[in-house]
Amino acid sequence: MRGTEMCRIAAYVGPSIPLENIIVRPRHSLLEQSQHATQAKLAVNGDGFGIAWYDQCEAPGLYRDVLPAWADGNLTSLCRMVRSRLFIAHVRASTVGETSRQNCHPFSHGRWSFCHNGQIPHFAAIERKLEADLPDHLYTARCGSTDSEMIFLTLLANGLDNDPTYAMAATLAKIGSGPDPVKITCTFSDGETLYGFRYASRGSAPTLYMSGTLDNGGKSFASEPLDGSTWEAVPVNKIVKLDVRQAA
């Protein structure tokens, strides 16, 4: 049986900054949210974490581990040293089952990175069909067993490269609905644009906020506002784009 996943996300695009400016330093940083989330069913997100960040290469760097984020000395050091103009970070809460790096977000494929907060409650009923519909190169790319990674691969199969809005609609159609509501709040990027999306087939979608202008001109998505600046809720059922060119 797979359990509920309720995670926390933070993402940034703008002038290059140390990762810690989003992940560690804000009053309600992602690291703080890993222990004291206030807008989630579970206050603690201790089942692994991950970061995808972009620099000169097309493919993002990826750092994921199964420890609670707050217990990883490497993470603190990396967040202090590594600077990036676009990155996505994630802390995971999973109530059932063994944690593995392969199941930690973000996932990456080529230039894309993706992380997710939510769940497909009827995933067991549709997993084989979703997997069977993947083209070979995406079937081979699957490393873990989560619904989250499958959403990402299905987005890619549905043309994420060309039209994210269409890809998302086609993916949601393929996922369909089950007895319990599908909930998908996610952020993803191709290294140029940062995308945010909130969706629930019924009821409320998991939270996602955006900050139009951080004090350095950058923009952010976060499951919960990181600090006292202005944050507004991402609208549901609509892909929101934050762009490095506008932000610069």
Catalytic residues: 7
Q: How far is the CB of 244 from a second copy (least distance, A)?
A: 18
Query: Nearer Cβ to a second copy, position 102 or 193?
Result: 102
Q: How far is the CB of 79 from a second copy (least distance, A)?
A: 10
What are 13's strand-pairing partners?
A: 86, 219
Q: How far is the CB of 62 from a second copy (least distance, A)?
A: 5
Query: Nearer Cβ to a second copy, position 113 or 211?
Result: 113
> Which residues have CB under 8 Å from 55's CB, separation 6+?
61, 84, 85
Q: How far is the CB of 176 from a second copy (least distance, A)?
A: 18
Query: Nearer Cβ to a second copy, position 19 or 208?
Result: 19
2: left (phi over 0), alpha (psi -120 to 50) or beta: beta
- For residue 34, what are the CA distances in angstroms to 71, 73, 185? 11, 15, 17
Whether the Cβ atoms of residue 61 and residue 49 lie closer than 8 Å to each other = no
> Which residues have CB under 8 Å from 150's CB, separation 6+?
123, 127, 130, 131, 142
Whether the Cβ atoms of residue 234 and residue 49 lie closer than 8 Å to each other = no
- For residue 126, what are the CA distances in angstroms to 26, 147, 170, 189, 202? 40, 10, 15, 26, 19
Query: Nearer Cβ to a second copy, position 129 or 238?
Result: 129
Number of neighbouring beta carbons within 10 Å of residue 79: 24
Q: How far is the CB of 229 from a second copy (least distance, A)?
A: 25
Q: Where are the alpha helices (DSSP H) in the chain?
A: 20-23, 30-36, 73-81, 123-132, 136-141, 147-157, 164-175, 244-247
Residues that bind a second copy (CB under 8 A): 35, 43-44, 46-47, 53, 55, 57, 61-68, 70-74, 77-78, 80-82, 94-95, 97-102, 124, 127-128, 132, 136, 139-140, 143, 145
